[in-house]
Structure 1
């Protein structure tokens, strides 16, 4: 699957001397051998990126916009190939994979237009005959690190705004799902950007992350990953004072108020909760259900969940695929068993799937009688687990929902517009959905607060982290 790719450096695919197997989460067998970067390979990519910086800046925003539109055209033409790669590497259902690739294409469309709108301003000076000119320019070379759970959307959220701003990029995708990023970079190869504007390296932390973080010419790093990795990156970035943006973990509360449209809520909650086998940072994890609706909510959720068909994501009737690897499977098993031992009740699921016979499959699971201090509730589980508790009134629900260090996303279901405003204002999260989970869009800023990260991806805000502000006082 990876024969025509490798490391992408200075406009060309190159092969490394080492390879590593990419393992299918469905069959537990190798999908193929991917070329791995050495530290020297990564340094070559960094050198190419730095060399491309002036040329990319000289292109100007309109020329960069044309290039990104061409890249989007190329990506659309390869949608079937890319969707198949996503479903194969992650195990997620092919329909979900297809939607992800569309979202990735849309990022390039959006930031192609944002490249034309990098505005400055003029401010009157107190000095006679003078004026202040405020301009925006590329921050410099960018190191981009992405996770495996959305192998197309996450690289696109970093590549598109960085290139729109005029920043060359060295992308380091997850070695568990490298093929999708390789297809994306291949689409960028012929779009008119200068050689070195886009580079890709896949390999160990020592051989990729280490050289990128140590290089003083890398002026910004962007990460999608765990809070633990983000904390380490902040420490490492301090050595060379790099600009940092990151989207980290989440543990989203979902509040079901007594006036919610229960059936409509359940119809969107179940497919959202178990999309990508629950391996989604913005997925609802902690369900706070008003006591008057609790029994009906659990019953309706169990009924819908039990209809989900597990299987290979390439099969069109699959509703949920596997977890990404054996370690994740064991962690989910431990979380569920620990919750039950602590007093939680199992409403459905709760074990490894009986079929298929291979793969890292775990049944979609619903737990009730949860207390707020249980790890399944207090910490991000990042799997197919819905943990449900009751609440009596609005203030109680909001206080308990906010009792978390995470602040990525939060959700509420209510028919009351005034309550919707109160809840939106009170919930501590970078993104809030009321009667909706549709937060990820190219035109909207995506990101969290507190331990869930800093900076935004998407929207007009998404390009800000790739720009520096320059002030000039001009007097004649």
Structure 2
């Protein structure tokens, strides 16, 4: 594919493009070539103040009738217009995503389909909100009637990661706007290009000013002041006057965000990291299981929060399966993500490359065996490429077993019994996802119930549908995104109860008549 110049963009605040107040910027580095492609604006606390004011104004404008308390159907029109523009611009968006974060072009194009579908889905749910308003509540006293209103929670801060730049942003933006919230999106500084193009799309479709504001910048300079902004905490309407922070990232960053939010009693929804297991029982088709194992760990260059990067395989098939798995891995095309047929691109940055290589080095020093991979591909002299890596002879105390790598690295342990497999699967501080592969449906059902995670895949790994809930437990965070659960993140429930009797309440004696 031909080279592509990256669009020159500014911060998107209050429906218009604005230079950062301190005029800072961040270089955009192509992880495949290590070349600087241009730069993006770097917001600071000063810009956060302006964006928060814009979102606050948009939420309250005309007493909320322009957006927050407009009909769901009117908001749905904008969501569908955004979806149509994403479809129209799919080749450009996919290409920008590939050169920005290293994602293979085919996968990036697939993500754009999901982005458009997600906006369409939440357009449907926005319309459905209209019918749900005023749902009656059954009461034990006939003298009262009660109903429930679902209202937008307010101004929301959305902080998103770099592995699915536009898709993960959409997981938050689409339901937030569907609910009637106004938002400030802060994408990762490592991959912001497509989120800035989302701003351009919002401008094209005429999204009301201030409804969605997009700030690119560093976490400490822009994300932290956004999470802790005191004025945003004072946003009040029927939505309780609180900001919801929807965040995806590492557990360490999540802890800092929670600390900042706690100072102002803000609700927080977090999807953090994972160290997900994939359990292979002895009754499986080895090639089918190998493909799902490869896909589950090495898709998106291994940079998936839910990557099934702990392979737990029955001891009776382990040797034969690993031999088959190595052949699958060696057949993966590793190349510039814009090359046709690429299935593994670079990790996102030099820092991430060093982190992944340090994990591999530490595993070796602790006594593990690098079965395949573990180095830079010999045919690529530039770029942050790591060969897909399989590590065996792993103990449960090793770092490679316990910590999220966020790169194309799979570690392996064997088991002899179902109980042992479950114990190994649960041997983690994380609890985002897990996969179980077996032809025994009853066993799959038992194991699915026994594993302590938020998502379980049976005879597959990594399918994700925006109709189904997504999220984890333990160090993987809390709250659920996607589906109707994702919309509920951005809604406040209000009870309205009316006394309908003409009789006096009668609790107190009336005063004497004059």
**After TM superposition, is the score higher than 0.5?**
yes
Q: Tell me which of 468, 472, 481 is aligned to 1:444.
A: 468
Partner residue in 2 for 1:160: 174
Does structure 2 conserve the Cα–Cα contact (< 8 Å) formed by 1:261 and 1:413? Answer: no
Across the two proteins, how many residue pairs are aligned to each other?
476
**Of 206, 220, 226, the match for 2:244:** 220
Contact 1:445 1:462 in 2 (8 A): yes
Once structures 1 and 2 are overlaid, which stretch shifts more, 40-49 or 336-345? 336-345
Matched, 1:145 2:159: yes
Structure 1 stretch 128-137 or stretch 172-181: which is displaced more?
A: 128-137
Distance in 1 separating the partners of 2:88 and 2:454? 34
Q: Which runs of structure 2 are paired with 1:182-331 in the superposition (5 Å)?
A: 182-212=196-226, 213-215=228-230, 216=233, 217=235, 219-331=243-355
In the alignment, structure 2 segments of 5+ residues that lack a partner are 236-241, 501-514
Counterpart selection for 1:41 from 27, 47, 68:
47
Matching of residue 89 in structure 1 with residue 93 in structure 2: no
1:14 aligns with 2:25: no
Secondary structure in 1 aligned to 2:489? helix
Of 394, 403, 408 in structure 2, the residue corresponding to residue 370 of structure 1 is 394
Is 222-231 or 4-13 further displaced after alignment?
4-13
The change in CA–CA distance for 1:127 and 1:190 in structure 2 (over 3 A counts) is farther
Q: Report the more deviating stretch, 339-348 or 237-246.
A: 339-348
Q: Is the 8 A contact 2:160 2:248 kept in 1?
A: yes
Find the residue that maps to 2:342 and give its secondary structure.
coil
Do the aligned residues in 2 keep the contact of 1:146 with 1:224 (CA within 8 Å)? Answer: yes
1:419 aligns with 2:419: no
Residue of 109, 114, 124 corresponding to 1:103? 114
Deviation at 1:438, TM superposition (A): 4.2
Note the C-alpha offset of 1:72. Answer: 0.2
- Confirm or deny: 8 A CA contact 2:122 2:178 kept in the other structure: yes
2:32 corresponds to which residue?
A: 26
Distance across 2 between alignment mates of 1:60 and 1:192: 17
Q: Which deviates further from its counterpart, 341-350 or 206-215?
A: 206-215
Alpha-carbon contact 1:439-1:446 (below 8 Å) kept: no
CA–CA separation in structure 1 for the residues paired with 2:105 and 2:293: 20
- SS of the residue corresponding to residue 390 of structure 2 reads strand
1:338 is aligned to: 362
Aligned-pair CA distance for 1:286: 0.6
- State the secondary structure of the residue aligned to 1:199: strand
Three-state SS of the structure 1 residue aligned to 2:113 is: helix
CA contact (8 A) 1:2 1:34 kept: no
Give 1:153 shift: 0.9
Q: Would the aligned equivalents of 2:455 and 2:471 in 1 still touch at CA under 8 Å?
A: yes
Asked which structure has the greater CA Rg, the reply is 2
Instruction: Identify the range of structure 1 (128-137 vs 157-166) with the bigger mean alpha-carbon deviation.
Output: 128-137
Aligned Cα RMSD in Å?
1.4
For residues 253 and 44 of structure 2, the distance between their equivalents in structure 1, rounded to whole angstroms, comes to: 21
CA contact (8 A) 2:190 2:349 kept: no
CA distance in 1, matches of 2:18, 2:378: 43
When residues 192 and 113 of structure 1 are mapped into structure 2, their CA distance, relative to the original with a 3 A threshold, is farther
2:17 is paired with a residue whose SS is: strand
**How far, CA to CA, are the matches of 2:327 and 2:225 in structure 1?**
51
Deviation at 1:30, TM superposition (A): 0.7
Shift of 1:429: 0.6
Larger CA deviation: 180-189 vs 82-91: 180-189
Single out whichever of 182-191 and 29-38 deviates more from structure 2.
182-191
Please identify, of 247-256 and 435-444, the stretch whose mean Cα deviation from structure 2 is larger. Answer: 435-444
| Contact 2:281 2:313 (C-alpha < 8 Å) held by counterparts | yes
Equivalence for 2:426? 402
Q: Which has the higher mean CA deviation after the structures are superposed, 292-301 or 314-323?
A: 314-323
Question: Deviation of residue 124 (structure 1)?
Answer: 3.3
CA distance in 2, matches of 1:28, 1:62: 46
Matched-pair contact (CA < 8 Å) for 1:42–1:207: no
- Relative to structure 2, which stretch is displaced further, 446-455 or 76-85? 446-455
Match of 1:473 among 497, 507, 514: 497
TM-score (structure 1 length as normaliser): 0.97
Aligned mate of 1:350, from 374, 389, 398: 374
Give CA deviations for 1:332-366 in whole Å, capped at 9, x if unaligned.
11211221222212211111222311111111111
Q: Secondary structure, in 3 states, of the residue corresponding to 2:37? A: strand
1:464: which partner in 2? Answer: 488
- CA drift of 1:240 comes to 1.1
Q: Distance in 1 between matches of 2:138 and 2:311?
A: 53
Alignment check: 8 A CA contact 1:411 1:435 kept: yes
- Distance in 2 of aligned mates of 1:28 and 1:141: 38
Offset from partner CA, 1:352-405 (integer Å, 9 cap, x none): 222311111111111111111111011111111111111000001101110111
Question: Whole-Å Cα distance in 2 between the matches of residues 203 and 276 of structure 1?
Answer: 23
Alpha-carbon contact 1:124-1:130 (below 8 Å) kept: no
Q: Indicate how the Cα distance of structure 1 residues 259 and 3 shifts in structure 2: closer, same or farther if over 3 A, else same.
A: closer
